[in-house]
Every structure is written in structure tokens, then in C-alpha cells.
Amino acid sequence: MLLSIGVPLKVMGIGIVISYGIAFLIKILLVCIRMFNKGQKHNN
């Protein structure tokens, strides 16, 4: 039983890291894109 819990726990652990990694990626991308757009507008 204990051995069989190991696999899903590992899956969940890696899953949480990757999923929140994607959420962070979204935030960072949005900030970068908006900064880039602002800079371009400023230059124009």
C-alpha cells in the first residue's frame, strides 16, 4: 500500500511544480509583453 502511494505522490509533486511553473510563466510573459508594447509606444 505504502509503495503504491509513492507513485501518485511523485506525480502530484512534479505536477504541482510544473503547473505553477506555467502560471508563473504566464505572469512573466504578460509583464514582458506589456513592457515591450509600452516601450514601443513610447518610442513612437
Partner 1 sequence: MKIIELFQGISTMFQQEPKVVILRVVLIFLGFLLVYLGKKGTLEPLIMIPMGLGMSAVNAGVLFMENNQIANLIINPLLTTTDDLMKYMQINFLQPIYTLTFSNGLIACLVFMGIGILCDIGYVLAHPFISMTIALFAELGTIATFPIAKLMGLSDGAAAAASIIGGADGPMVLFAALKLAPEYFVPISIVAYLYLSLTYGGYPYLIKLLIPKEIRGQVIVDKKPKHNITSSEKLIFAVIANALLCLLFPVAAPLFLSFFIGIVIRESEISKYVKLIEDGFLYFATFFLGLMLGVLCDASTLLNPVVLKLLVLGIVALTLSGIGGILGGYVIYLLRGKNFNPVVGIAGVSCVPSTAKVAQKEVQKVNKCAFILDYALGANICGVITTAILTAIYVTLLQ
Taking residues 6 to 35 in sequence order and writing x for each that binds partner 1 by CB under 8 A, - otherwise, the string is -xxxxxx-xxx-xxx-xx-xxx-xx--xx-
5-16 b/e (C-beta count within 10 Å ≥ 16 → b):
eeeeeeeeeeee
- Smallest CA-to-CA distance from 24 within 16, 35, 13 is with 16
Nearer to partner 1, 12 or 39 (CB): 12
41 binds partner 1 (CB under 8 A): no
Given the rule CB under 8 A, which residues bind partner 1? 1, 4-5, 7-12, 14-16, 18-20, 22-23, 25-27, 29-30, 33-34
